A and B are shown apart, each in its own frame.
Chain A
């Protein structure tokens, strides 16, 4: 057995996901069902955070798993299965978001702030009852944070989701998103600054001095 094959065999022995995927590769549908069971929460979660719509997130998550199955013969156990899975999820979500930008499919509700709804700052500011000092109900806070997440560009949002909710390090995120580690660092730095900007009222206390230069620029990060 050559070096690569030996390494792959060792990885397969250690990683139950790889063992399952190798069974899927040989056409075992029950192994595929087990993989879906194991990863459905994570894939649906990522898609939901990215798209902000649960039904669409489930449809897309299903498509991710179907692509896994369709491309099973191309799978080689040289990397973690989750990295391969999230790479497919990232590609698919990017396509959907790109197509959504070109051709919006959902009607936008008309509001006082115009067809695009309240801007993040409008939603966050104003109402004194919605300050940390007065306490917030969790649902309201979740809605505000959802708005903050939507204020990030797509790549920032994906990097944040993978880092925050999938606990991925920069190198893993870089592999999934096809970027350099340096670009991921830059993405996350700008994303954090943008989040702080939008969540301003929940980050700084009333009597707290606000640091200068907190505004994130929105220039595109270089890959």
Chain B
């Protein structure tokens, strides 16, 4: 049985196959190859295994790869979540100075309402009867439009701003 190939010789064969050997070293190896059938078989088998890699299919990127990459780039460039950008309220015609968010306004109104209710309760006789289910339903129906669009109103800073948006010069129906 012939001797196993040492690592150094195998590295030389690889460098030779890869074209990474200088001319004198390549000439010396070729001389050895001519007189050593085992070395020739080694070289040939290493080459065949390498050539088999040609059968590996070359994967193609999906057609929308560039577009998707650019979309991700946009997200990277604008780390803030996309929300409606509001101009300063003071810059709108007829707008009043900012008074805080809509939520703060609603909360304040709610607290004031509750406080008022109790104060009124002290001054006036108690309400004779609680609202009936039909009355409650009626009130709910009246506020339904507001409730339905509450997720949109969250982006508004104040009711005044929403009113200013309603100005015909901004989004009015064009003829």
Contact = CB atoms under 8 A, between A and B. Distances in A.
Interface of A: 29, 32-33, 36-37, 40-41, 44-45, 48-49, 54, 57-58, 61-62, 65-66, 69-70, 138, 141-142, 145-146, 148-149, 160, 163-165, 169-170, 185-186, 188-189, 192-193, 195-196, 199, 202-204, 208-209, 211-214, 217
A45 B42 CA distance: 30
B45 A203 contact: yes
Contacts of A65: 69, 73
Given A163-B18, A189-B11, A212 B2 contact: yes
Contacts of B11: 185-186, 189
Interface of B: 1-7, 10-11, 13-15, 17-20, 38, 41-42, 45-46, 48-50, 52-53, 55-62, 65-66, 68-70, 72-73, 76
Nearest to B68: A62
Q: Is the interface of A mostly helix, strand, loop or mixed?
A: helix
Nearest to B42: A211
Nearest to A169: B20
A203 B52 CA distance: 8
A199 B49 contact: yes
A186 B58 CA distance: 26
B56 A49 contact: yes
A193 B46 contact: yes
Contacts of B3: 212-213
A185 B45 contact: no
A58 B62 contact: yes
Q: Is the interface of B mostly helix, strand, loop or mixed?
A: helix
B58 A45 contact: yes
Given A69-B73, A169-B20, A203-B49, A33 B66 contact: yes
A41 B72 contact: no
Contacts of A145: 52-53, 55-56
Given A40-B65, A169-B20, A193-B10, A199 B52 contact: yes
A138 B55 contact: yes
A211 B45 contact: yes
B14 A36 contact: no
Contacts of B2: 211-212
Contacts of A48: 59
B66 A40 contact: yes
A212 B55 CA distance: 26
A111 B63 CA distance: 35
Given A65-B69, A199-B52, A211-B2, 6 more contacts: A49-B56, A69-B76, A145-B56, A165-B58, A189-B10, A211-B41
A57 to B, nearest CB: 7
29 contacts: A33-B70, A36-B65, A40-B69, A41-B60, A44-B59, A44-B61, A58-B65, A61-B61, A62-B69, A62-B72, A69-B73, A141-B55, A142-B56, A148-B52, A149-B56, A160-B53, A164-B53, A169-B18, A169-B19, A170-B20, A185-B11, A192-B49, A195-B49, A196-B46, A199-B52, A202-B52, A211-B2, A212-B3, A213-B3
